[in-house]
Chain A
Amino acid sequence: MTSNNSDASTNTDTSSASSVTSSLGPLDLEKGQGTKEQSIEEIVASLGDTVGKTRVDNPKMSATGVDVFYADKQAIFGVDLDIANNEVISMIGPSGCGKSTLLRCLNRMNDTIPICKVTGELTLDGEDIYGRDTDPVLLRARVGMVFQKPNPFPKSIYENVAYGPRLHGLSRNKSELDDIVITSLRKAGIFEEVKDRLDAPGTGLSGGQQQRLCIARTIACSPEVILMDEPCSALDPIATAKIEELINELSENYAIAIVTHSMQQAARVSQRTAYFHLGKLVEVGHTADIFTNPRHELTEKYITGRFG
């Protein structure tokens, strides 16, 4: 920290140059050290097409030329990306690079933000999800989401998990519903902890337990695609391992997109990895390749921990 201070103070003039750069303070360090390499800004400005294969053979969901705007501010720039059936794709990148934004586009959660505008094409099983006759309610039943912050309903644990199945009429009677609830809780690795207090409020759990409850709630609806926004950020290593196990298990039947800040986690759970930077999809490829042999220099810088 101390060594950074001097750099930061010498670079205050450049860091206030534009809003884009000021949202990426640490990049100034790179420049401050006076390397001969190209500066990050220059690289980002000259970013062209995504490096790597964005398309897959059996896409479950696919994005083509997606731009997202928050009012006048563009958050996503022309992203092309496929999510394959039965695969886990992880999205990585520095904070604020638009991972959550893209994820929320995939089940139209961005509809709730009035200033948010999405252009380009997004499809689920080949159908345009922003099309006129696509029902966002049905879409969200098929594409489930686990949010960055745990957000259980202020109801009992049982009610939290039972809400989705009840909403969609997935069970015919109470015992079927009980089954769904228990299986979902067990899959999310929380059943043992809460089995004695299913009637206790979900908001009374610890942060990590709440997050697993939210995962249980999502898988109880048996969606086709699961979007997870940093599902393990509040979890201890044991719970994280459980969730990763769950992701592995689920990937046999579902398509899963997971945003994570932990590169080890991305390496452990995903088959493919997409690296985002300032709203652009920089590189996408097999996870092993991205982490061992990144082709784009921004990707390399990020995974080697030189920024972000």
Chain B
Amino acid sequence: MNHTDPTDSETSDADRSSTDTLGMTRSDTTAKVKASIKKRYARERRFRLYGLIAILSSLSFLAILVFTITKNGLPAFKQTFIQLDVTLDAKTLGLGDEPDQAQLLKANYNGTIKKALLAQFPDVKKRKDKKALYKLISKGGQYDLQRQVMESPDLIGQSKTVWLPAGDDASGYLKGMVDVTIPEKKRRFKDNQIEWIESLKQDNRVAERFNWTFFERGDSREPEMAGIKGALFGSILTLMVTLILSFPIAVASAIYLEEFAPRNKWTDIIEVNINNLAAVPSIVFGLLGLAVFINFFQLPRSAPVVGGLVLSLMTLPTIIISSRAALKSVPPSIRDAALGLGASNLQVVFHHVLPLALPGILTGTIIGMAQALGETAPLLMIGMVAFIVDVPATITDPATVLPVQIFQWADLPEKGFVEKTSAAIMVLLAFLVAMNTFAVILRRKFERKW
């Protein structure tokens, strides 16, 4: 028949002659195959079972994780408010006639709130009890009041009913997280405070609302006033810098290395180094960023631009490696076809190879970006761990990022930060899911339709 490959025909000939000498008949073969087929199928079934078990167990771990995080984090999306009748008289506020904006900014809103509380509970006389009473309202309440007054200064001199955020312990109690069976001494939220809250509740002066504060504010020392917006924007800005730097550089390097670079000692060295860089612990990149970007180039500390630079160092090798793999997997016959028609190397790459490799490149990019999103260690080195209240607006503003924020909140003793930590994790996961969805949509768009 076809004699192109003698080695092939020789082995098959050898097989046949050996079976001949064994005196095998056709039915023997059938019986043997039948016997082995059962074993083979059994093996396959076992293998499928292992796979199923593996998937189910990882799914259950995931379910447990999501469940606990959601359970801990959900209360953080609710905020409790207490209604007070405040009298905004100029004397308590410490304002003279016709106050200007600067004076309004510095006015004593805290005193006004305290007065309102005392007016609500006239029986409270002792200094210690007063202090406990004041704790019912969050320290952030004065800023709400401040904002309202600065928006319409003619409120001064009037009485107003306002909703103010409850303090950490009070809101914890209202959310049912205080165990009243514990003896009073061992509990932060005392019996008299419980009494006051219950009486406020009876007057319908307590309400629970969706916690917009959490999404509208930066970090705070007061858990009830702390928000995720600062860290979220910090993450977005940092990742933007990372993507803008690492994607084009990585894809360009991958294309050059895969399609244009000659194969020699130098490209071998570069390849080995890229593979090694992908395995370098991320904290090392943080040290590098500190030494190079901050100390040498004098870039600002704690800024998303530096974070982005450091993270792109980290994601570059990941994207390069996966892009090269994607480029390599494009069949050479496509390249031949285009070259044979007279396309230049660059045209071959951009007309044919890159579009076919793009889904793979995008997958690599999203893996790199997800890594960057979850990275904490290198950012600690460049000062993105600082306590930052303001929401960053540009890439040079001091900022922190979601995982670092989680890390910081997880470390704080206040009860309110426990739920905030879980809520921040939920935001981080949501961010990740959104990013991945976007990547999947992009991939679908570019994947060849046949």
Q: Which residues of A contact B (CB under 8 A)?
A: 1, 4-5, 8-9, 12, 15, 22-26, 28, 95-96, 107, 109, 112, 114, 137-138, 140-141, 144-145, 147, 149, 151-154, 163-164, 167-168, 201, 203-204, 214, 217-218, 221, 307-308
Contact = CB atoms under 8 A, between A and B. Distances in A.
B339 A25 contact: no
Interface stretch (B2-10, B62-70, B155-163): B2-10
Contacts of B332: 112
Interface centre among B4, B16, B334, B356 (most CB of A within 10 A): B4
A221 B4 contact: no
B4 A167 contact: no
Q: What are the 6 closest A-B residue pairs judged by CB atoms, nearest first?
A: A25-B6, A141-B342, A151-B333, A26-B3, A201-B450, A145-B340
Given A137-B342, A151-B337, A164-B341, A9 B13 contact: yes
A163 B340 CA distance: 12
A204 B340 contact: no
Nearest to B356: A154
A25 B9 contact: yes
A63 B432 CA distance: 61
B449 interface: yes
Interface string B325-343: 0000001111111111111
A140 B336 contact: no
Q: Which secondary structure dominates chain B's binding surface?
A: helix
Interface string B95-109: 000000000000000
25 contacts: A4-B9, A5-B16, A9-B13, A9-B17, A25-B3, A95-B4, A107-B340, A109-B336, A112-B335, A114-B263, A137-B343, A138-B342, A141-B342, A144-B341, A145-B340, A151-B333, A154-B334, A154-B448, A163-B341, A201-B449, A203-B450, A214-B337, A217-B337, A221-B342, A307-B3
Interface size of B as a range: 35 or more
A144 B14 contact: no
B31 interface: no
Contact of A140 (B3, B339, B352): B339
A140 B343 CA distance: 8
Nearest to B335: A112
Given A107-B340, A151-B331, A308-B3, 13 more contacts: A1-B1, A5-B13, A15-B10, A26-B3, A109-B336, A109-B339, A112-B332, A112-B336, A137-B343, A152-B337, A154-B334, A167-B347, A218-B341
A12 B449 contact: no
B344 A8 contact: no
A109 to B, nearest CB: 6
A152 to B, nearest CB: 7
A152 B9 CA distance: 33
A231 B448 CA distance: 27
B337 A12 contact: no
A25 to B, nearest CB: 2
A144 B340 contact: yes
Given A5-B13, A114-B263, A154-B448, A22 B6 contact: yes
